[in-house]
Structure 1
Amino acid sequence: MNPKVLIRGFIVIATLIAAGYLLRALESGVLLDASWIDTAVRGHGVKGDIIFIAAVTIATAVGLPRQAISFLGGYGFGFLAGTGLALAGSILGCLLAFYYARFVGRAFVTARYPDKVRKIDSFLHDHTFTMTLIVRLLPVGSNAVTNLAAGVSSVRSRPFLSGSALGYLPQTMIFALMGSGIAIDPTLRIGVGVVLFVTSSLLGVYLYRKLRHGKKLDDAVDSEIGGDALAPPLNEGRGPLDASGERQK
């Protein structure tokens, strides 16, 4: 057996164990709550910025909601800086999950999410930037699973990552605004945030229905957003991916 196969397997196991411990810490409130922001991040200058971005990167990669992270960014740094730092961490988390799946965890992700990989590959392949932007604007779906499935698929990395960055921006700004301490009445600030969130979500749903080129991202997503009639078969004219991520003939 090629030693590289064993090494890659050990890396996968180690990262899964580390992710499990991290999720337990996050769920128990050890990281990424208001008290953590107050004690470890706020007022610590560049060091605090780096700590926040690093925590957001890992949290986004393992699937924590970007909205909550953006809210904490606004709480800790204000609207503009909070938006920038939360967006930077979200993009890095997307990149981390994408390349983890592509270069290290391909077999694990393909076995764990076979249907999702197939659907993401079909949905994003032909118009990657536009379709990724639409996916990020939708108010439903799993950010982390999308990143992992895209990493295993044949989707090109540059348009996927740039589409994700632009698609992340509206909700990052909205939730950073909600969490910020800028001189706006809290009720008004939250009200504006809710209106903007609904608006961006409706825009995502509209673009999904209008520009999906007859394809469907996911049965559950279509059900939640009231998608139109069922799309044609996802891989029409194109073979599915096999366990190695290669397309079958």
Structure 2
Amino acid sequence: MNRRFALFGYLVAGLAGACAAVAAWIASPEAAVARLALLADDPVRFGVALLALTAVRPLLAWPTTLLAVAVGFGYGWVGVPLGVVLLVATAVVRYRLARAGSVRVRGASRTADRLCDAGERLATAAGSLRAVAATRLLPLPSDAVSVGAGAAGVRTRPFLLGTAAGELPWVIVGVAVGVSLDRLAAGDLSAVDPTVLVAMAGTGALLLAGPLYRTFVREESAATA
């Protein structure tokens, strides 16, 4: 039995070392995309590399749009559905950890508790799916939104559907960058018309405006009356 545990420990240590080596080898998003470009002529190998990148992205805290850029470069516009699937999959990791309490949010501080309570109230007022989708449209870190949804107790199905809906415009933006070989070769992963980002943020804000007003402004007015 002890021998089996020792072998298991060696295996875990070896896998951890391999992951660390891979992380060191692709130390930046631009470097990762550049190495993916070498596999673009082989759709199968390129797809496997994309899956690996999707798996390690949360550990490296890279922007999720990087996946959409890579999809656009490898598969073009037909890869938009794949990009949505990958962005949803990479968001699940932080969400599940937050729901399980592995990423400690509630109880970390009084401010964190208040934010969690506010998130729960907003999800109740707007509906979990709408709240997640609208928040995804805002220029906020994707991982922060995932952790917030998990800490607020958003159920899995609304989280997945809301993430897919909210990330779709970001996937389209990323694919648009990826299909441009000049931008990719220059390492420019953010060459996007600011008008598009403003429109997306405005849509997200409009979707949340009513629930925010009903949940916080009206309740505070009633409490002070």
TM-score, length-scaled by structure 2: 0.68
Q: In the alignment, what sits opposite 1:208?
A: 208
Q: Residue 148 of structure 2 corresponds to which residue in structure 1?
A: 149
1:128 and 2:128 correspond: yes
2:214 alignment partner, SS class: coil
What is the CA–CA distance in structure 2 between the aligned matches of 1:122 and 1:206, rounded to whole Å?
A: 17
Number of the residue aligned with 2:160: 161
Structure 1 Cα separation of the partners of residues 24 and 158 of structure 2: 33
Q: How far did residue 93 of structure 1 move?
A: 1.4
Q: 2:62 is matched with which residue? A: 64
The aligned amino acid for 1:93 is: T
Structure 1: segments with no counterpart, 5+ residues? 1-13, 183-189, 217-229, 237-249
Residue equivalent to 2:7: none
User: What fraction of aligned residue pairs are identical, expressed as a percent?
Assistant: 18
Aligned-residue offset at 1:49: 0.9
Alignment of 1:4-43 (within 5 A): 21=20, 25=24, 28-29=27-28, 33-39=32-38, 41-43=39-41
Distance (whole Å) between structure 1 residues aligned to residue 122 and residue 191 of structure 2: 34
Summarize the alignment of residues 234-249 of structure 1 with structure 2, pairs less than 5 Å apart.
none
Q: Distance in 2 between matches of 1:212 and 1:30?
A: 35
SS at structure 2 position matched to 1:214? helix
Preserved contact between residue 46 and residue 74 of structure 2 (Cα < 8 Å):
no
CA separation of 1:111 and 1:48: change in aligned 2, threshold 3 A: farther
> CA-atom RMSD, angstroms?
3.6
Pairs aligned (count) = 194
* Alignment CA distance shift 1:43-1:111 (3 Å): farther
Q: Distance in 2 between matches of 1:67 and 1:99?
A: 20
Residue 41 of structure 2 aligns to a residue whose secondary structure is coil
Query: 3-state SS of the aligned residue for 2:84?
Result: helix
Q: Where does 1:181-220 land on structure 2 (aligned, <5 Å)?
A: 181=180, 193-215=193-215
Q: Which amino acid aligns with 2:214?
A: G
> Unaligned 5+ residue runs, structure 2?
1-12, 182-189
| 2:4 match | none
Instruction: Give the 3 Å change call, closer, same or farther, for CA 146–199 of structure 1 in structure 2.
Output: closer
Query: Which amino acid in the other structure matches residue 36 of structure 2?
Result: I
Q: 2: CA distance between counterparts of 1:202 and 1:158?
A: 25
Amino acid at match of 1:34: V
Moved more, 112-121 or 150-159: 112-121
The one-letter code of the counterpart of 2:148 is: A
- Is contact 1:61-1:96 (8 Å) kept? no
| Distance change (3 Å), C-alpha of 1:56 and 1:76 | same
Counterpart-to-counterpart distance in 2, 1:57 and 1:87: 15
Query: CA 1:24–1:110 in 2, change beyond 3 Å: closer, same or farther?
Result: farther
C-alpha change, 1:31 and 1:105, in structure 2 (3 Å) is farther
Q: Distance in 2 between matches of 1:24 and 1:231?
A: 48
TM-score, scaled relative to structure 1? 0.63
* Higher-helix-fraction structure: 2
